[in-house]
Structure 1
């Protein structure tokens, strides 16, 4: 693996915490993601199912984790099933994980080959009453392709129709929202790699470069620092494209006088960083660009201070909305009298700032977390206000990753330049 192994104690604790939430006399089963095809004989690079990784630390395809806390046979309370290396696989792909290496990574002592899974499940499941099955219950999830989890649910219900089926997702959402020390360290490393990429592009960007060239510089820095890939599709948006929230074409030339909005982050050990910075292509903000940029920066600085235990997403967004209104009035984009009589369910600031300010961050870029849950110590949020003035081709977003602690918010990207003077100084050095 490219990244340094995460201590197996993290995954041992995670499994123990999951088992504590299971009903008595229950078994839980987690599958790795499918390998996704492209066309002909092509496949996409494998990315592990994050719940399985969270519980096992195993980063290999065709893996199954079984948890059975009440099993009378102690060695069968945790079982890992792995794809066995054949001579042909070894020739074409290289060796897969050995049982010994899997034990070292996961802390699970009982490891069998995948081919024995069904027979082994049959030998255990009739001693249980409940079967916990995993599904993707993320609010933003769309699933047009049937997943391994979905196929397994159908198989299980056909094979064991009289068992009681339970959802693993609520437990996983409860556990994963609070990050451990090891997880924060992995996120911090992803942020550190992302910082190096930003420093690189600050010295690279100039009028005439293409957005995809900037993306290439970012990806180069990721790969040379043990990141396997971007944590999500990088947004490299110049000129008017800076006002398109999920612009990923990255195929335009950066021109004199344009702003360049870049939203990118490295993954490290499956954990994500999420950074946005907006810079002037020529190294110097115009007065108008600087005014909009500093307005967004003031919003962000105030928003970060609200990421404290006990606050909640509804009140947080409401307060940031008020701050944004004042900034937009000062920029001449909103009229104070019109704001005073606006429909509170349709605030006028949404014309220029139409997305949320924060989302959970972790193994997934948009990580698990309920909107109704108050902020707690150990949560990691992005903080990403923006102002988008389409008629002026000015789009500004500034995003940092914030750890909530009992002593106040900790900015995991505090060393990444964001002040106008810092950015201009580095670009012109």
Structure 2
């Protein structure tokens, strides 16, 4: 792995939180991701399933975590199964986790080779009544591929039909949304790498540059700072392209007079950062660009100040909508009649700002986290308002990542990334 080793105590704490919420006489199983084929002998780069990483720190394929707090044999209360390694694998694929290394990474004392799973699992199933399955229940998930987790659940239900099953996801939604101090440090590192990338491109952007060249500059800076690269597919959208919310072609020329929207973030140790900045291609804002830009910035700042313990996520978005409505009225994009006659299910401001303002951030860019209960300290949210004006060939979005505090204003993990008009112009014209 490119990233520095993570103290295994983080994963010890995470497992303890999960097991504390398990029903009696239960065990839980978590599988690694598959390595997905492309064609011939080619595969996609491996990405570890976030839940098994969150609970164990094991960052390799063909890994299984088993948690059984009430196991009669104390050494079976936490078990990590890893692929057996040998000299041949080390030569052809690189070093894999030994049993000793797996313990060092995870803090789990009992490590077996994966070939032992069926035997050990069958023995433990005689002691339990319930098995926790790990299903993806994120509110934005749209997975069509069968995962290793899916295949395990299918196999287990057939082999052990008399057992009851429970869902791991409600527990994970609750505990993954509230970050430990070590996780906040990892997220800060990811944001710091993003900062370096953004400052690098500010001196590179100019009329005539291609969007993909800017993408390459980000990637260069990310890789040289121990990141695997982008936390998600980057959006480098100049001119009209910024009005396509998930524009990812990044193949157009940046033109003089246009604005350039960059929605990018570095990953670090599987943790995501998520930044959006919009800058003038030629390094100077026009009066109109500045007015719209500052309106978005004011919405972002006011929305950030609302992220406090006790805030309701749905109500928060309604309040942000009111703030945006006021800004759009000031810009002349809406008039009072538009607001008075608006459809409550699709308010007038949605014509120019059609997406949400905030989502959880962590191991996933759109991370797990409670959304139907009040916000609590150490939740991490993005704040990303935007105004999109296709007729003016311009879309402006600004986004930072912030941590809710027990007392006081949230901490902005991206506070050192240039964002004001003056900061952007200074950096672009050094």
TM range (shorter): over 0.9
Residues 339 and 348 in structure 2, CA contact (< 8 A), matched pair in contact too: yes
Question: For residue 429 of structure 2, what is the aligned residue in structure 1?
Answer: 428
* Residue 45, structure 1, aligned to residue 45, structure 2: yes
Q: Secondary structure at the match of 2:43?
A: coil
1:164-183 to structure 2, matched below 5 A, reads 164-183=164-183
- The 5-angstrom pairing of residues 328-367 of structure 1 reads 328-367=328-367
For the residues of structure 1 that align with 2:279 and 2:200, how far apart are their CA atoms? Answer: 13
Shift of 1:340: 2.2
What's the Cα RMSD here?
Answer: 0.9
Q: Which residue of 1 aligns with 2:214?
A: 214
In structure 1, runs of 5+ residues without a counterpart are none
Query: What does residue 70 of structure 1 align with?
Result: 70
Partner of 2:36: 36
Distance, in Å, in 1 between the alignment partners of 2:12 and 2:342 is 53
Alignment of 1:257-406 (within 5 A): 257-406=257-406
For residues 244 and 338 of structure 1, the distance between their equivalents in structure 2, rounded to whole angstroms, comes to 24
Give 1:233 deviation, angstroms: 0.3
Q: Distance in 2 between matches of 1:300 and 1:95?
A: 45
Matched, 1:118 2:85: no
For 1:342 and 1:228, how far apart are their aligned partners in 2?
A: 45
1:417 and 2:396 aligned: no
Displacement of 1:366: 0.1
The aligned residue for residue 136 of structure 2 is 136
The aligned residue for residue 156 of structure 1 is 156
Is residue 2:109 matched to residue 1:106?
Answer: no
For 2:399 and 2:129, the matched residues in 1 are separated by: 47
Q: Which residue of 2 aligns with 1:22?
A: 22
Report if the CA contact (8 A) 2:85-2:96 is conserved. yes
Find the aligned partners of 2:338 and 2:172 in 1 and give their Cα distance. 45
Separation in structure 2 between the aligned mates of residue 248 and residue 283 of structure 1, nearest angstrom: 23
Whether the 8 Å contact between 2:175 and 2:369 is mirrored in structure 1 is: no
CA distance in 2, matches of 1:321, 1:137: 27
**By how many angstroms is 1:317 displaced?**
1.0
The separation in 1 between residues aligned to 2:236 and 2:346, in whole angstroms, is 30
Q: How far is the alpha carbon of 1:268 from its aligned partner?
A: 0.6
Q: CA deviation at 1:126?
A: 0.9
Q: Distance in 1 between matches of 2:376 and 2:131?
A: 30
User: Equivalent residue for 1:146?
Assistant: 146
Whole-Å Cα distance in 2 between the matches of residues 370 and 305 of structure 1? 20
SS at 2:27 equivalent: strand
User: Alignment partner of 1:166: what SS?
Assistant: strand
The structural deviation recorded for 1:370 is: 3.3
* Offset, 1:335: 1.0
Paired with 1:373 and 1:241, the residues of 2 have a C-alpha distance of 36
For 2:296 and 2:108, locate their aligned partners in 1 and report how far apart those are by CA, in whole Å: 48
Distance in structure 2 (CA, Å) of the matches to 1:229 and 1:425: 27
Deviation of residue 344 (structure 1)?
Answer: 2.0
Separation in 2, partners of 1:150, 1:274: 29
Distance 1:383 1:15 in 2: 30
SS in 2 for 1:184: helix
State the SS of the aligned residue for 2:38: coil
CA distance in 2, matches of 1:338, 1:251: 37
> How far apart, CA to CA, are the structure 2 residues paired with 1:103 and 1:243?
48
Distance in 2 (alpha carbons) for counterparts of 1:255 and 1:129: 64
Displacement of 1:315: 1.6
- Work out the CA distance in 1 between the residues paired with 2:42 and 2:15: 35
Which residue does 1:190 correspond to in 2? Answer: 190
Q: TM-score, normalised by structure 2?
A: 0.99
Deviation at 1:408, TM superposition (A): 2.0
2:102–2:108 contact (8 Å) kept in structure 1: yes
Deviation at residue 91 of structure 1 after TM alignment: 2.1
Shift of 1:85: 1.5
Q: Deviations over 1:360-409 (max 9, x none)?
A: 00000000123312111010000000000011111000000010002221
More displaced stretch, 341-350 vs 74-83: 341-350
Q: What's the TM-score once normalised by structure 1's chain length?
A: 0.99
| 2:32 and 2:62 in contact (8 A); partners too | yes
In structure 2, what is the Cα distance between the partners aligned to 1:109 and 1:319?
49
Indicate the SS of the match to 1:21.
Answer: coil
Give the superposition deviation at 1:210: 0.4
Structure 1 residue 177, shift from structure 2 partner:
0.7
